[in-house]
């Protein structure tokens, strides 16, 4: 009887679809090793996401702080353009710009109109004559 059973054993009555083992192997691998690789990639991103967000926020804060400091910090004299101009240059150019009459007006009028001390009348007449001022006018004034 066992011999009869062994004759039957040789023929497998079960069938499978064409290329079944090739396809099922791919299906198994994609749902095991493939799925893990994907989840590892995703997992790495999701694990790092909070740290990436913090790093990005810190970077933005640093950029904003740096920009604000650059824009609003007062320019120190040592580095400003005025430091490159000497006091003498400034005074000369400033004086050149001002009308000489303005200086005369601002000057103390007492100095001009008051009696000139230390000079004799004769010295003044000599000076005025050298300046080609008419004698009559000199005598009228003095």
Partner 1 sequence: MANSDQDINIVQLLKTDVNRAFRLLVEKYSSKLYWHIRRLVILHEDADDALQNTFISAWRNIRKFRSDSSLYTWLYAIATNEALTLINHRKRNAAVSLDDIGSILANSVEGSTWFDGDEAQIKLQNAILQLPDKQRIVFNLKYFDEMTYEDMSKVLNTSEGALKASFHHAVKKIEKMLGED
Token pair for 8 = 């039957």
Please report, as residue ranges, which positions from 75 to 114 form the binding site for partner 1 (by CB under 8 A).
none
- Cβ neighbour number for residue 69 with a 10 Å cutoff: 9
* DSSP-assigned letter for residue 115: -
The distance of closest approach from Cβ of residue 9 to partner 1 in the complex, given in angstroms and rounded to an integer, is 7
Nearer to partner 1, 28 or 107 (CB): 28
Nearest residue to 103 via CA among 95, 111, 92? 95
Shortest CB 34 distance to partner 1, Å: 9
128 CB-side CA count, 13 A: 17
CB atoms within 10 A of CB 133: 13
Interface residue with partner 1 among 12, 69, 106, 136 (CB under 8 A) is: 12
x/- map, 26-45, partner 1, by CB under 8 A = -xxx-xxx--xx--------
Binding residues vs partner 1 (CB under 8 A): 1-2, 4-5, 7-9, 11-17, 20-21, 24-25, 27-29, 31-33, 36-37
């Amino acid at each position: 009887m066992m011999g009869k059973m062994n004759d039957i054993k040789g023929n497998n009555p079960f069938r499978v679809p064409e290329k079944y083992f090739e396809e099922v192997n791919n299906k198994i691998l994609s749902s095991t090793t493939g799925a893990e690789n994907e989840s590892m990639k995703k997992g790495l991103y999701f694990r790092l996401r909070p740290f990436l967000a913090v790093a990005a926020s810190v970077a933005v804060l640093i950029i904003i702080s740096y920009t604000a400091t650059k824009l609003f910090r007062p320019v120190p004299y040592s580095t400003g353009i005025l430091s490159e101009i000497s006091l003498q240059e400034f005074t000369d150019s400033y004086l050149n710009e001002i009308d000489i009459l303005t200086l005369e007006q601002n000057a103390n009028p007492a100095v001009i109109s008051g009696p000139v001390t230390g000079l004799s009348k004769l010295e003044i007449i000599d000076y005025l004559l050298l300046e080609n001022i008419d004698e009559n006018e000199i005598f009228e004034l003095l």
